[in-house]
Structure formats: structure tokens, C-alpha cells
A = this chain, B = another copy of it.
Amino acid sequence: MADEAFQIHLQQLKQKSPGFLETIYALGNGHIGVRASNPLQGNSPAYSGKPGLFVNGFYDLSPIHYGEPYYGYAHNNQTICELPDPRYLIFEVDGVRSDKTPYNVETIDKTWDMASGLLDETFQITTPTGKTFTLTLDSFVSQAERHLYVVRYDIRALNFSGGIKIFKRHDYVNQQIPRATADIRRAQRSNTLMQTYLPATAPIMELSTQKSQLGLLVALRFLGDDPRVTLTTQNDVPCYQINLDLTPERSAQFTFGYAIGDVHDLLAFKLHQQSNVEATVALLKEQTFEEAFAASAARTQQFWQDSDIVIEGDSSLQKGIRFNLYHLFQAAGRDHLTAIPAKGLTGTGYEGHYFWDTEMYMLPFFIYTQPEIAKALLGYRYTTLPAAGRRAREMAISAGVLFPWRTINGEEASAYYPAGTAQIHINADIAYATDLYLRATGDTDFLKSAGFELILNTARFWLAYGNYATYGPQRGHFVLNRVTGPDEYTAMVDNNYYTNRMAKNNLALAVKYADKMAKIAPEKLTDLAVTQDERAAFAEAADKMYLPYDAKHKIKLQDDNAPNRPQFDIAHEPATNFPLLLHYHPLVLYRYQLNKQADTLMSALLFPLDQDEAQLKRDYDYYEKITTHDSSLSRAVFSILANRIHQPQKAADYFMDSSLTDLTDLQGNSEDGIHAANMGGSWLSLVYGFAGMHYGKSGLTFAPHLPTSWQRLKFKIKYRGRQIAVDLQQAAITFTLLHGKPLTVYCQQEPCELTLKNPSKQVSLTDSTN
């Protein structure tokens, strides 16, 4: 399906800097990610891009330096490794090598067909001796074979005939110059790697980090059989050499495949067991580019089958949303050992760390459209449960676990605890997401094997962390002091509304699932030493959790003392001062009512039954005034909630301001990598916001509000073994059960019974709801 609405064309992009293009056209499959570098210039100091290959979960360590180190501080930076660029080529024409003397490279075209996953790029290259040729790359990261990246080069002379030599080698050059930066959102350090070629006929190499003691296996193989391509060595480094005779009449082609493993593959290899990398290499012996690509494209097609969203009425938005969805798909780890780095596998921003936004912004998309990936992402948290237990002990918490604020390997890597470890809400976020997964999938096996332990151990943390207050309005309530909510412009407060509400939920979930486990797997309760007393303690703390509220103004308070901080005068702040965190000391920001992003409002999004519309409206108006949206996570929440308070224009504006953050380089830093959570937020905006999907009192409920300029919003969701298509138009919404048992969904208080016999129900939308 060569559908224009799935294609990202270079000509349609406003920003065209090398780094930006590398990010936008980055390919990935949750295991590997490849930035779309200039294939000749990556190693040149003059080149402003940051080429690289990333392997999810492959990181290096470096000690964190503190001006004043304190007990329990995170010890090591974990930094995702920038691996050698697999697209890189060295040309030699007229005895001049492109790695010694720069060739002129002009980017002619880039087209990414997201329907199939193929990236097609054309460069025009001129040698220092004036010879000009085109270089075309067709490449894909396989969605079918996790280790596989394939690139096909096609070269055609434009103004000459004659021989050229091409070398393809990847002896590691530490391209990464540490970039001194005051922007904490960027990677603060670089990694250095050691590379060892392992005995094999084709170049197969081990890339090892210096500090994390991790290594992985990368194999490079020429696809096909061509006497012009020979495997040789240069300075003892295995190297493919391609000797081509070019003419303007006929292009020359050659194709390479990479099998990019992980630490387990390397271990298998060293144990003389068959590693998956070798299996992939073996596959490459048999498959052509077309065959390998067809397998990948089939999986991609299946992705779109389940996960596509159709928007009629705005073609660039339609394309942008698909861009977001496909990047999410490309970013998500699927092996239960990795999650979604904040920048996907497209850059080193935030050091490649996993944060709470995996659960709170991205997981819903996967839960409802690719539940197997959602399970794998929660599986990553389960894998790191022991590390989270150790962290809780280190933080003097006697029971349960404390998940790290930012991490790759499961250990805390946040070097600034007031906006790191203090964000203990991550525990409740993971529990919330686990519950959402369980509710949406009914996956009892996962509950038994992992889900219950996640919910139980996060709940245990709250009991150990919090206490019952004895003074003031909090008296008799369960309180959580000295915490930081999602809003990082407010830190170290008492009873952050979001945190408390989420912890209350976490505790209640522990009770709910303990009850369920008592029925389906009572032996697990014994194994996990869950007593009746503990269950009662969970219930009581949940019941008595303090939620700060200004009874006079009827506003949910961000924390106990929030109203007594003056409101920051956002309106009169010079535009150049945003994001404020780069222009004000934390102590300044913390002294004001000032939100980087939705915080208290986020809890309204997650618990729609907590408040009526009037309450939500008051809170919305209150917090909107003090929110800068300096976090890319913010606008999606404001968009969704604007729908709930029937402000469709505002909902549309917030959505449009944020939905194309990367494609339009809204924040000016997409070159550091995509904003993965923001992309998840755009799905939430569409499904939770415009379609208004939520868990109502009766069950899965929709409260649709299609923006007036759109004709249509279509998407599918999976729900407990079923798949439902939702087709929202201005006048009506139609629900169609595609497969699975009968289900009743609700729309405008109206139940819609869907069965395979009568699969579709249409609900007409009156003006009053829009």
C-alpha cells in the first residue's frame, strides 16, 4: 500500500538540519535503532549530526560526581551507547578517500514509507576531483527479525565513467565528543567502546563497554554473490571492499545486512551455543533484500491493522499521527528486559533512560492495540523488581520496593533526587499501568506470574513510607510527606495530590487483587506473606489517604501549602525564558505556584469518576493559569481534559500544539531524539480525549467530542479478547465488534451491546455534548 498518507517526504519538512533528519527518519524495532545519518560524513568533525546505532538496554556506566555526595545517592550514570553507524561508507575515487578528504554530499530526497517501514534516501555526491554520482539507500530495520538491519546501496555516476572503490568497515571511532551543555535534558556524557573482531569468515565483532561490563555481538554480511565485493582487511580490521565501474547509464547495487545482538547473544556465542545473531546471519545467507523486507513489512502491516488511527479533515495531522504511532512501535522493547527510552532508540537524550512516562503516557497505546508489547514493557518492571527492592532498603524503607526514577538496568540513575528519587509516584504509576493492562486484557496469567507482585510490592512501599497525621487538617489521615509530583517545578512537598491519589489507588489495588488472588491462586498469597492484617492495613491507608483540598475555593490542592506560594507571572515572562528550568534556580521555581506540566490535573485524567464536571472545570481553570507546559508531557493532558469540560476549541488547540512536536521540531531539540512520551500523549489525546474513552461507572465508556474541522476519527482497540472499531464522525459514533465475545460499551449514558451477529451500533451525537 504505497499510500501517500503513510509517507514522510523530505520536501514536506520545514527543518532540514542533519541531526533533525537523523531523528525523524530513524528506524527501529524496539531492540535496535539506527539514525538516518549522512552515510559519508558521520565521522567528520564538521558534521553537525549525531549518527549512531542504539541497542535497547545496552549502556555504559560512569560514576556520578557530586559536589557534596550523600548516603544513598545514585552511584552511576547509565548511558545508552552510541554504536558505530551501520550506514557508513568510505569512498575512494581518483585515489582520494572520503574519510580523509571530505566529499560534498547533498541530500536529494528522503522518503519513509511507514506503511511498509522502508526508508528510501538519495544523496548526490561530488568528489574533490569533480566527479558526481548519486547514492541511494533503501533500508529497513526488520519488524520480523529483531536483530536485523538491512541497507541496500545503489550508485549511479552522473558526469563520468570509471572505477571507484568503496570500503565498508566499522572499526569503532569514538565519534562522540562530550558536548558541554547546560541543558540537563541532553546526554551529559559520552561512552567509549572497545571493539573486538571475533574469528569468523564474515566480520563479526564484539562491542564491549568499558564500565558496565556489557558486550554485544554485531555481524555484518554482504547479501548476495558478487565478485566485485571482497572481504579483506585494512590494518588488521576486517573490511568489505567493493570495486565498481560506474557509468551514467547503469547503476550499481550492493546490499549489506547486519545482525545486531545483545548481551545474551554474545554469551551464547562465547559458550559455543547457537546465538540468535548467528541464526540471523544464517538467514541472511538464504534471503534476498526483498525476502527479508517482505517479512518485516508483513509485521508492519499487521501493526497498522491494529494500531492505525484515521483522521479525516487534516492530512498533515493524519500523517503526523501515523509518524507518532510508528515511532512508538519502533521504540518499545519487546523482550521483557527493556522498556521505552525517553527518546526511543533515536538518540542519547536523557541518556536513553526509562521513566514513568513509559507507563503513564505510552503504555495505554500498547495495552489497547498491541497488548503483547504492553506485557513485555510491564515485564521489564517485573524483571527489575529485585533492584527496586534493594533500592527501597537503601532508602530505609522496610518493606516493598521503590522503582528508580530513571534507569536502564533497574538501578536509580537520577543524579538530582528532588526531581528524581523523590518522585516516588513512579511506584503507583507502575501499579496503575499494571491494573490498566489487567483490566483491558483480563490476562490472569500475567496477574499471577508478575502483576500481583508488582502491585503488592509497590503498595507495601506506601505503607512503610507514609504515616497517619496527628495535626491540622491532615489529622487522622494517611499522609505522604517530602515528595515530588510529576510537576518538576514544585519539589519536596507534603501530600502532593497526584502522588497521594495514585498511592491510594495503589493500596486499593493491592486489596482488590489480593482478594482476587485468594480465589485464583491462594498459594501465592502465602508465598508472598500477605496476611489479613496487611490487607486491612492497605485498605485503611487507601481509605484514609489525605487529599489536600481548598474547601473555600473548592480546588484540589497540589500539596498542603500550595496556596500560600505566590503564582508565578507566566504571562509577563519573556518568551526566551522558557523552559524556565534553564533560566531559574530550582529554589526560585519551587517558591511559586508554577507547573511545568499537569500534576493535580493528571489525577483527574486518570480517575475520571473522582470529580464532577464543575470540580474539573474549577481545577482546570486554576492550574491552566500556572502551567508553562515546559514538559512535552503537559499539553496532551490539557487537551483531554478540555474535552471533558466541553471546551472543544481548547482541546483542539492543545492537541495541535503538541501532536506534531517532533515532526515540526516544536521544542527545537528533536535532533537529540524523538519525544516518545509526547507521541504516546497524542494517542491518549485522540482516544481518551476526542473519543472520550474511559472506564465509567458501568464499564468502557466513550464521551466523544470530534473537533469541528475534522470529518472523522477512526481507530481500533483490543479489550479482553475482543477487538472493537470506533468510527467517530460529527453526527454519530459507530462501534463495531470485530471479533470476540459480546460486549457492552457506553456512550452518552447509552449502552451499546455489540455481538458478532449484530456487531455495529451507532450513537448519534447531539449538539449538547459537543
Contacts and interface: CB of A to CB of B under 8 A. Distances in A.
Contacts of A590: 482, 492
Contacts of A474: 564
A416 B584 contact: no
Interface string A462-495: 0001010111111000010110000000011010
Given A66-B67, A68-B420, A470-B564, 15 more contacts: A64-B67, A65-B66, A69-B188, A71-B585, A396-B585, A396-B588, A418-B418, A421-B585, A471-B563, A472-B473, A481-B591, A482-B590, A492-B492, A494-B561, A560-B560
Interface stretch (A33-41, A72-80, A142-150, A379-387): A72-80
A72 B584 contact: yes
Interface of A: 64-74, 77, 182, 184, 188, 394-396, 414-422, 465, 467, 469-474, 479, 481-482, 491-492, 494, 550, 560-561, 563-566, 581-588, 590-591
B563 A470 contact: yes
Secondary structure call for the A interface: loop
Nearest to A585: B72
B182 A71 contact: yes
- The residue in A74, A416, A481, A491 that gathers the most chain B C-beta atoms within 10 A of its C-beta is A481
Contacts of A471: 550, 563-564
B68 A415 contact: yes
Nearest to A424: B587
Contacts of A465: 591
Contacts of A491: 492
Nearest to A396: B588
B421 A587 contact: yes
A76 to B, nearest CB: 10
- The residue in A418, A561, A565, A585 that gathers the most chain B C-beta atoms within 10 A of its C-beta is A561
A473 B638 CA distance: 32
Contacts of A492: 418, 491-492, 590
Contact of A587 (B64, B417, B563): B417
A161 to B, nearest CB: 56
A586 B182 CA distance: 25
A450 B100 CA distance: 65
B481 A70 contact: no
A469 B560 CA distance: 13
A348 to B, nearest CB: 15
A585 B73 contact: yes
A209 B415 CA distance: 30
Given A565-B481, A591-B482, A581 B71 contact: yes
6 contacts: A69-B182, A72-B585, A396-B584, A470-B564, A494-B564, A560-B561
Contacts of A560: 560-561
A591 B492 CA distance: 10
Contacts of A422: 587
A586 B66 contact: no
Contacts of A581: 70-71
A407 to B, nearest CB: 14
Given A71-B583, A467-B566, A561-B481, A395 B588 contact: yes
B67 A479 contact: no
8 nearest interchain CB pairs?
A: A67-B415, A72-B585, A471-B563, A65-B65, A68-B416, A469-B564, A492-B492, A64-B67
Given A66-B67, A67-B65, A492-B492, A481 B564 contact: yes
A469 B584 CA distance: 23
A472 to B, nearest CB: 7
Contacts of A66: 65-67, 415-416
Nearest to A185: B68
A126 to B, nearest CB: 42
A67 B416 contact: yes
A206 to B, nearest CB: 30
B586 A417 contact: yes
Contacts of A421: 585, 587
A356 to B, nearest CB: 17
Contacts of A72: 584-588
A178 to B, nearest CB: 12
A188 B66 CA distance: 10
Nearest to A479: B564
Contacts of A77: 67
- The residue in A67, A68, A474, A482 that gathers the most chain B C-beta atoms within 10 A of its C-beta is A67
A627 to B, nearest CB: 19
Nearest to A465: B591
A560 B474 CA distance: 12
A584 to B, nearest CB: 6
A418 B420 CA distance: 14
A479 B565 CA distance: 9
A182 B65 CA distance: 12
Nearest to A471: B563
A64 B465 CA distance: 33
